[in-house]
Amino acid sequence: MGEMDTLKKEADGLKAQIEAGRKAVNDTTMATLASGVAAAPRVQLKNRKTLKGHLAKIYGLHWSADNRHMVSASQDGKLLIWDTYTGNKVYAVPLKSSWVMSCSMAPSGNLVASGGLDNMCTIANIKGASPKTLRELDAHEGYLSHSRFLNDSEILTASGDTTCCLWDLETGKQKVIYKSHVGDCMCLAVSPDQNTFISGACDSSAKLWDIRDGGCKQTFIGHTSDINAIAFYPSGTAVITGSDDCTLKMYDLRADQEVNGYQDAALNAGVTSVSLSSSGRLIFAGYDNFNCNIWDSLKAEKVGVLSGHDNRVSCIGVPDDGLGVCTGSWDSFLKIWN
């Protein structure tokens, strides 16, 4: 097949070109630059609250934009919306399918989304007398791994069918489909300016997308296994990824490459979840080994640990005001630390 061979040669040539282009600007390391920075203080966060109520493994959590409420999803078949200041449950949303893998709350606080092995993203309105299903977004051909609202009428989803999608909630239809990954999409994060988003997949790569035109702008490689978690640096110019290869990486969008790596020879548990403190200095990473490690994002040193869960930490989140960090676990509890 002459043409296939030609295309393969061209692809290999372009990959070499990209690698050369990245090497050409790789004039120093973050480690060198950060050597002069004072070490972050030894971070000793205390468990301030334990939210009890779920009856099975927790798979996802998402803080409300009001910094006080939070939604969590469990395979007990429920979404719970919490008032984290009092520890009380405010709403319970029963799920049609208990095989939920993720949840999210709209910035307005009016809507929550959930989905999982049912391949659907279900949107519920929680501001009526009782929670009501608004839409069932049903077009993905694989499980729903992640979702994030842009506003009350648009939501982004990531799926095991290797695509991500932007949906119009007024019509329930797909607006834009993001196709380029060759493995299950596991996670996504929206840029602070809401013009782009980043996705992580089982093909070990992270991709930056233009939300409106659906184009993949950049691809970041280096991980050697599934990327389970991804987050934007608060500056919007870098992303942090967490992987089954037991490491986290920081990719700078403008240098188009990895600029820092977070790993420890003693750590042989995959990273399940990641979140950053408000300045970006601290990276909170949940691992399969029941702990959450705290990393100094600049010096790539471990500066603390959150231990207290009796099973895998599956999700982590820091609210917009940065006042605390919440961990969710397969032990069915959510813990808030600061």
List residues binding another protein (CB under 8 A).
Answer: 1, 3-4, 7-8, 10-11, 14-15, 17-18, 21-22, 24-30, 33-34, 37, 40-41, 43, 45, 48-49, 68, 84-85, 180, 215-219, 233-235, 237-238, 250, 252, 254-257, 259-260, 277-282, 297-298, 318, 321-325, 336, 338
Q: What angle do CA 236, 276, 105 make, to 5 degrees?
A: 85
Strand partners, 171: none
Residue 68 or 76: which CB sits closer to another protein?
68
CB of 82 to another protein, least distance (A): 12
| Residue ranges with strand state E in 118-247 | 121-125, 132-137, 144-151, 154-159, 163-168, 173-179, 185-190, 196-201, 206-210, 216-220, 227-232, 238-243
Residue 102 or 162: which CB sits closer to another protein?
162
Cβ atoms 109, 66 nearer than 8 A = yes
CB of 15 to another protein, least distance (A): 7
Please state the separation of Cα 37 from the chain's center in Å: 28
CB of 185 to another protein, least distance (A): 16
Residue 124 or 298: which CB sits closer to another protein?
298
Cβ atoms 178, 214 nearer than 8 A = yes
Residue 68 or 89: which CB sits closer to another protein?
68
Residue 251 or 287: which CB sits closer to another protein?
251
Place of tokens 């705290």: 294
**Amino acid identity, position 284:** F
CB of 253 to another protein, least distance (A): 8
CB of 334 to another protein, least distance (A): 12
